[in-house]
Amino acid sequence: MTNKGARHSRFHENKRENVNAWHPVLLIAGATFLAFLPALGNSLVDWDDLNQLVRNSAYRSGLWDAVHFAFTTGMSGHYMPLTWLSFSLDYAIGGDGALMFHLTNVILHALNAVLLFYIAKRLGLKELGATFAALLFGLHPLRVESVAWAAERKDVLSGFFYLLSVLYYLREERGKSVGFFVAALLSKISAITLPAALLILDSYPLRRKPDWRGKLPYALAAIVPVAANVVSEAYNSAFPGLSSFGALPRALSTCYGLVFYPWKTLWPAHLAPLYPYPAVFDPREPRFLLSAAAVALAAPAAWALRRRSPAAVAALAFYAVTLSPMAGFIRSWPQIAADRYSYLPCLGLAVLAGAGLSLALERTRARWPAFAAGGICLLLAALTWGQCLVWKDTESLWRYELRLQPQSAVAHYNLGSLFLNRREPVAAEQEFRRALDIDPAYAYAWNNLGNALCAQRRWPEGLDAYRRATLTLPGYWEAQNNLGLALESQGRRTEAEAAFKAAIVSRSDKSGPHENLALLYMSEGNIDQARQELAAASGLSRDRSRSAQLQQLLQFAAVQRARDAQRREPRPQRP
């Protein structure tokens, strides 16, 4: 063969190899996207979606305002500026419809599955094992909550940067790895476990001495995002204090969380949007005792097998480390577990399964392990398709929850909120009362029960419900504000003024109580105080259109003041 012919042959061989290299990537991305296809037809649900993406206009108020909001807000107790900016981009492209929000989530998740494929190959898995690991992660129905729930964008976006950080770490590009780590933290703070996860990778499968000094840049880069998130959590009271929840319940909840997700990975049945925390924690419940026993046995077993099965030990260590912020020691009301908490921790379990498939293929020299893996992937894809439909709309979500968890006070509360928004106060009242039968200390249910009763003009009962809400949760500014509105509608202006002022003391950064107090003063002819409150409300409002309306009210107040002054001037008497 001539040199020219040899070069031509090598060119075509390289071309075929390049094409073949894309086959698993296309399979992983395509299969993951198709499994989550039903999510694209879902609406936004009343479970953070409406509060964050519909009722909140701050993230879609123009470029500068959106950037300012993203980097200064701790809404819902999370500091996640990059997540907010991604929502702003979705809105700029697709408007306020649900499609773009869901499409971005699905695309990000498919990319994450592809990134896991490349990471698994870097860790030594053969192509088939790496493909199975990526598909197992991408197609598993435990991922549905993180993907089909639009407001949970922080999981898939943080996961995207997290995986990029790991990939560049394995490629010895530490600067890029640290940069993507910061991006992951600015999307969701749970990525804080990455340096510890990298130390585990150093030990196995990289088999090198853990580089503690090399993790210092990661620790330094995390200071600002962690501090911002701590402030956000404290300001929004995202988590109860340690003193409000005993050490034994916390320990047992942690054990339960550690066992819950591997079990659901193996048996993904009855996946719920919410696993309610028990109203009364009983440490003698079998699920807590069995979980504690499993953890107590797993720890010494892992230590004993650290040399014989280092891959399994490394995967379990990665799982425990990445789950630690959500495992249960820091109670995240109102759930004892959540499918979305498995997003990062189950990466290690997926890679372990891929390594297991590679080992089975080597030892058996048969094809049946590959066919079994394919069957598992098809089954998981079918389960994921069905689970996506659970998130179709608010009503289907919470009715499904009640089928699985009849004693879920949150599900009854959210159904009641749906009926209240539909202007069905009687149906709403029934759901709020059911929620309160389950959890009498549910302050939000008391507040919305007050709304439902006042909508039926049952004012005394409504006022009592608002007061119960403020007693149950001191400093609950929304209930104080609603109490003021109800009192004002009954002509009890002095009490209404006190309620609005109490709401302002509870949350001085909210514009609503200032605005309501201003309107109360205007109705009484107290223009000077009305101007002060309207100025405060205008300064606090992030909604430009609302700020413009408040400015018009300020101008109206100024005109009214001038007219009042003119009327008070003595008129010259006629001779």
Give the pLDDT of residue 248.
86
Summarised one tens digit per residue, pLDDT across range 479-501 is 999 999 999 999 999 999 999 99
Domain span at residue 534? Answer: 442-568
435 within a domain of the structure (yes/no): no
8 Å CB contact between 137 and 346:
yes
The residue behind tokens 């993507």 is 180
Task: Supply the Cα-derived Rg of the chain in whole angstroms.
Answer: 28
Count Cβ atoms below 10 Å from residue 41 Cβ, excluding itself.
12
Cα–Cα separations (whole angstroms), residue 440 to 341, 405, 415, 476 = 28, 18, 17, 16
428 within a domain of the structure (yes/no): no
Q: pLDDT at residue 566 above 70?
A: no
Residues 367 and 470 in one domain: no
What's the sign of the alpha-carbon dihedral 285, 291, 297, 303? Answer: negative
226 within a domain of the structure (yes/no): yes
187 within a domain of the structure (yes/no): yes
- Which domain-ending residue is among 358, 378, 394? 394
Closest by CA position to 331, among listed 205, 235, 241: 241
The residue behind tokens 């425990």 is 320
DSSP assigned state of 208: S
User: Which residues, in sequence order, are bridge partners of residue 337?
Assistant: 275
423 alpha carbon, distance to own chain's centre:
28
186 alpha carbon, distance to own chain's centre:
13
Q: Predicted confidence band at 7 (pLDDT cuts at 50, 70, 90)?
A: low
363 alpha carbon, distance to own chain's centre:
42
542 within a domain of the structure (yes/no): yes
The residue behind tokens 């306020």 is 96
Cα–Cα separations (whole angstroms), residue 475 to 85, 99, 356, 461, 504 = 31, 37, 54, 21, 10
Summarised one tens digit per residue, pLDDT across range 397-407 is 999 999 999 98
Name the phi and psi angles at 569, rounded to 5. Answer: -70, 135
Closest by CA position to 443, among listed 416, 408, 418, 478: 478
C-alpha–C-alpha distance, residues 276 and 164, integer Å = 34
Name the phi and psi angles at 335, rounded to 5. Answer: -110, 150
Summarised one tens digit per residue, pLDDT across range 504-526 is 998 887 888 988 888 888 877 78
Q: pLDDT at residue 279 above 80?
A: no
What is the residue type of 387?
Q
Residues 349 and 454 in one domain: no
Q: pLDDT at residue 221 above 90?
A: yes
Which positions ≥6 away from 309 have C-beta within 8 Å? none
4 within a domain of the structure (yes/no): no
Question: For 303-316, what is the mean pLDDT?
Answer: 88
Residues 163 and 272 in one domain: yes
Give the pLDDT of residue 250.
85
9 within a domain of the structure (yes/no): no
Residues 456 and 560 in one domain: yes
Residues 361 and 470 in one domain: no
> Environment class of residue 482 by beta-carbon count within 10 Å: exposed (0-12), middle (13-18) or buried (19+)?
buried
CA 33, 35, 37 angle in degrees (round to 5)? Answer: 65
Give the pLDDT of residue 255.
93
Residues 452 and 314 in one domain: no
Which positions ≥6 away from 373 have C-beta within 8 Å? 132, 357
pTM of the predicted protein model: 0.88
- Which domain-ending residue is among 394, 423, 458? 394
Q: pLDDT at residue 375 above 90?
A: yes
C-alpha–C-alpha distance, residues 186 and 318, integer Å = 22
Mean pLDDT of all residues in the chain? 88
Q: What is the domain count for the chain?
A: 2
Residues 318 and 377 in one domain: yes
C-alpha–C-alpha distance, residues 159 and 344, integer Å = 7
- Write the DSSP string, 483-527: HHHHHHHTT-HHHHHHHHHHHHHH-TT-HHHHHHHHHHHHHTT-H
Residues 515 and 373 in one domain: no
Q: Which two tokens stand for residue 77?
A: 């107790």
Question: For 372-392, what is the mean pLDDT?
Answer: 97
Q: Predicted confidence band at 258 (pLDDT cuts at 50, 70, 90)?
A: very high
CA 238, 46, 479 angle in degrees (round to 5)? Answer: 55
293 within a domain of the structure (yes/no): yes
CATH number at 507 reads: 1.25.40.10
Residues 350 and 478 in one domain: no
Residues 382 and 449 in one domain: no
Summarised one tens digit per residue, pLDDT across range 102-158 is 999 999 999 999 999 999 999 999 999 999 999 999 999 999 999 999 999 999 999
What is the residue type of 343?
Y
- Which domain-ending residue is among 394, 420, 450? 394
Q: Worst-scoring range by mean pLDDT, 111-120, 273-282, 345-354? A: 273-282
User: Which residues, in sequence order, are bridge partners of residue 276?
Assistant: 335
Query: Which stretch of DSSP H or E encloses residue 336?
Result: strand 335-337
What is the residue type of 280?
V
Give the pLDDT of residue 118.
97
Residues 466 and 390 in one domain: no
Compute the half-sphere exposure of residue 51: CA atoms within 13 Å on the CB side of its CA.
Answer: 9
Residues 220 and 155 in one domain: yes
Q: Which two tokens stand for residue 445?
A: 């249910």
